[in-house]
Amino acid sequence: MNIWSKVSPSEKSKYIYRIARLMQERARELAIIETLDSGKVIRESRDIDIPLACNHFFYYAGWTDKLQYAFPNKKVSPLGVVGQIIPWNFPLLMAAWKIAPALAAGNTVVLKPAETTSLTALKLAEIIRDSGLPDGVVNIVTGYGDTGAELVNHYDINKIAFTGSTTVGKIIQKSISGSDKKVTLELGGKSANIILEDAPIDQAVEGIINGIFFNQGHVCCAGSRLFVQESIYDIIIKKLKRRIDKLIIGDPLDKNTDIGAINSKEQLNTINNYINIGKSEGSKIFQSSYKLPNKGYYCAPTIFTDVSQSNRIFQEEIFGPVLTIQTFRTIDEVIKKANNSPYGLAAGVWSDKGSRVFNLSSKLRAGVVWANTYNKFDPTSPFGGYKESGFGREGGLHGLSPYINLK
Ligand code: NAI
Ligand code: MG
């Protein structure tokens, strides 16, 4: 077994806490690098991504000496070497989601960041080195998909944790079948955001905006399918359009910017392609009239109405600031519509009535259901999906299980 697995639980804690504290000390630097590298707005890097990444290390640091209590009457041991492959939408945060529980459970790590966003992972490697963690416990390897594939197929790897596209998730599952490698996959989504007629209207409009435009819509759990109850449809659409038109799009480093840059030219092409598909499918488009910068990759916040369930823009993950909108009359109808998706990662429900929220959240096939909020994350809370959104959970005690052997 590796040297890390032999370090005592309380010593392990100290290292992981030290990493968290060093990240906090360098939070400003990390936020700026993240924004420069990914195109996400500085307000989000500074107030959401980086603090949450630190919190993951703080949270999992506390688990090292409690594993025996968490899994009573079992002998808990680490898996060994875990390979971790992450995407470009939340570079440092995804690295933290992956590395912190793996370390707390006593594993060593080889992590591959996405090819367009490797910088904060490399900065994290520096921080981890400065924390004094023994050499070789955390390893960061940069590269394209072929490097990821090498990791997946390497005979010394005991487990693969992957976040990214459903296409690559399926390739990984095929490659490891027949081996004794373990795997967890956090894949795409097309999540429903449901506004009931008794919802607080202005809050719901903010929730719609945050649900789909947060991080330019590069969010696996983005609320990309909006369902509005018929009686409040007109008012919601009117307010939503007015709000969209006020969003500031541009320089990600400017503190006033609401919508930053699209991560890559490739992704912008994908999004624009879907916008064209939406138009050709006959849906009605509305886009923000804010003038986009003429340099860099930008996409105007976009909504589609008159969308049908069979439309590609309703079924497929766009991973950009593009929202499809449908109406519904009854609760049963919206449950059917919302569950009509190959994905099942998240959902949002907006209502003043607890019983309605409870009813809906128990019937929606989604790993996470938010009530009167959206895109809220916390290290104590498990996150993950059903169906083609993958399997395995990250966060909380659930997030430790995929990194341990139980006897
Ligand atoms: P991707 O799945 O190709 O990339 C994610 C990570 O997997 C990157 O680190 C990449 O280098 C690695 N990778 C690529 N091919 C691999 C292979 N054969 N074996 C092992 N690792 C491999 O995602 P991509 O191409 O950047 O985006 C395509 C679409 O995927 C997006 O438009 C979006 O719909 C979806 N996506 C979903 C994400 C999520 O969080 N659910 C994150 C990123 C993309
Ligand atoms: Mg790809």
pLDDT digit string (tens) for 47-86?
999 999 999 999 999 999 999 999 999 999 999 999 999 9
User: Which position among 34, 44, 186, 317 bears the catalytic label?
Assistant: 186
Ligand 1 interacting residues, C-beta cut-off 6 A = 85-87, 89, 112, 114-115, 144-145, 148-149, 152, 163-165, 168, 171-172, 187-188, 220, 267, 270, 317, 319
Phi, psi of 337 (to 5 degrees): -65, -45
In a domain, 160, yes or no: yes
Is residue 309 one of the residues assigned to a domain? yes
Q: Do 124 and 225 reside in the same domain of the chain?
A: no
Region 192-207 average pLDDT = 98
Q: Are residues 164 and 227 in the same domain?
A: no
Residue 391's pLDDT is 87
Residue 1: its pLDDT value, please? 53
Same domain, 213 and 178: no
**pLDDT at residue 264 tops 90:** yes
Question: pLDDT tens, 143-166?
Answer: 999 999 999 999 999 999 999 999
The answer to whether position 377 is within a domain reads no
- Residue 220 is a catalytic residue: yes
* 113 CA distance to ligand 2 middle (Å): 13
Query: Quick check: helix, strand or coil at residue 287?
Result: strand
Q: Distances in Å between the alpha carbon of 106 and those of 101, 112, 135?
A: 9, 19, 14
CB 371 within 8 A of CB 200: no
Mutate to test the pocket of ligand 1, among 94, 168, 172, 173 (most ligand atoms within 8 A of CB): 168
* Alpha-carbon distances of 203 from 144, 229, 349, 392, rounded to whole Å: 41, 15, 12, 32
Beta strands 302-305 and 284-287: pairing type?
antiparallel
Give pLDDT tens digits for 269-290. Answer: 999 999 999 999 999 999 999 9
Asked if residue 199 lies in contact with residue 352, where contact means CB atoms within 8 angstroms, the answer is yes
Tokens representing 243 are 């709000």
Which one from 34, 54, 220, 394 is the annotated catalytic residue?
220
State whether 95 and 74 are in the same domain: yes
Ligand nearest, relative to CA of residue 218: 1
Is 378 among the domain residues?
Answer: no
CATH code of residue 263: 3.40.309.10
Q: Based on the domain organization, do 30 and 163 belong to the same domain?
A: yes
- The alpha carbon of 389 and the centre of ligand 1 are apart by a number of angstroms equal to 13
Residue 29 covered by a domain: yes
Does some domain include residue 103?
Answer: yes
Q: Helix, strand, coil % (nearest 5) of the chain?
A: 45, 20, 40
Domain CATH for 182: 3.40.605.10
Give the residue-averaged pLDDT of 369-395: 94
Strand partners, 221: none
Ligand 1 atom nearest to CA at 318:
34
For residue 115, give the ligand 1 atom closest to its CA.
11
Percentage with pLDDT > 70 across the chain: 100
Cα of 75 to ligand 1 centre, how many Å? 35
Taking the centre of ligand 2 as the mean of its atom positions, its distance from the CA of residue 87, in whole angstroms, is 9
Say if residue 234 is in the same domain as residue 332.
Answer: yes
Q: Which atom of ligand 1 is nearest to the CA of 186?
A: 41
The residue nearest atom 29 of ligand 1, judged by CA position, is 165
Q: Are residues 9 and 139 in the same domain?
A: yes
Residue 256 or 391, more confident: 256
Burial 1-28 (b: 16+ CB within 10 A, else e): eeebbebeeeebbebbbbbbbbbbebbe
CA of 84 to the centre of ligand 1 (A): 13
78-95 pLDDT, tens digit per residue, is 999 999 999 999 999 999
- Report CA(112)–ligand 1 centroid distance (Å): 12
Chain segment 282-320, per-residue pLDDT in tens: 999 999 999 999 999 999 999 999 999 999 999 999 999
Average pLDDT value for residue range 337-363: 97
In this structure, are 394 and 356 located in the same domain? no
Which residue out of 165, 220, 262, 312 has the highest number of ligand 1 atoms within 8 Å of its CB and is therefore the one to mutate?
Answer: 165
Residues 158 and 200 in one domain: no
Identify whether residues 249 and 328 lie together within a single domain: yes
pTM for the predicted model, two decimal places: 0.97
pLDDT at 329: 98
Q: 336 and 218 in one domain?
A: yes
The ligand that comes nearest to the alpha carbon of residue 149 is 1
pLDDT of residue 101: 98
Q: Which atom of ligand 1 is nearest to the CA of 152?
A: 20
Q: pLDDT averaged over the chain?
A: 97
pLDDT value for 2: 74
- Do 214 and 310 belong to one domain? yes
Query: In this structure, is residue 74 part of a structural domain?
Result: yes
Ligand nearest to the CA of 115: 1
Question: Does some domain include residue 363?
Answer: yes
Domain boundaries, position 108 = 2-187+389-406
Number of domains into which the chain is organized = 2
Atom of ligand 1 minimally distant from the CA of 264: 26
